[in-house]
Amino acid sequence: MLEDLGMNENQDKKWQKDPRLTMEMRHKQVKENRLRREKELERQRIEKTLKKSAFLEAQYLVQEEKKRKALEAKKEEEEIQREMVKLRREIIERRRTVEEAWKM
């Protein structure tokens, strides 16, 4: 009977897992999970940085386009003003010419 008990004990030991192996497997699993989370966080950080960079670049391009259009509008307005001054001078000169012709 003792032999039977001894054999059962040995058999039970064979079936029981070594806690060190379980602990090592758990540590390995925890490490893998941590690395996976860190990798995912890094990917998210990179993605966020790229989105922000793209947004800032687009914002910069929009501002540059607005500046270019404003400068173009200003130049066009200045050209119109120069043309108006030129036309006024021509009108004044024609009036003088007509007035001088009437005086003669």
Domain that holds residue 66: 17-103
Instruction: For residue 5, tell me if it sits in a domain.
Output: no
Instruction: For residue 9, tell me if it sits in a domain.
Output: no
Instruction: For residue 95, tell me if it sits in a domain.
Output: yes
* pTM tops 0.75, yes or no: no
For the record, the structure tokens of 53 come out as 């960079």
The H or E element spanning position 37 is helix 19-103
CA-CA-CA-CA dihedral for 7, 10, 14, 16, to nearest 10: 120
Rounded CA-CA distance 104/102 in Å is: 5
Provide the 3-class DSSP secondary structure of residue 18.
coil
Per-residue confidence in pLDDT tens, the chain, 104 aa: 444 544 455 555 556 678 898 899 999 999 999 999 999 999 999 999 999 999 999 999 999 999 999 999 999 999 999 999 999 999 999 999 999 888 87
Instruction: For residue 84, tell me if it sits in a domain.
Output: yes
> What does the pLDDT read at residue 7?
47
Split into its structural domains, the chain has a count of 1
Instruction: For residue 12, tell me if it sits in a domain.
Output: no
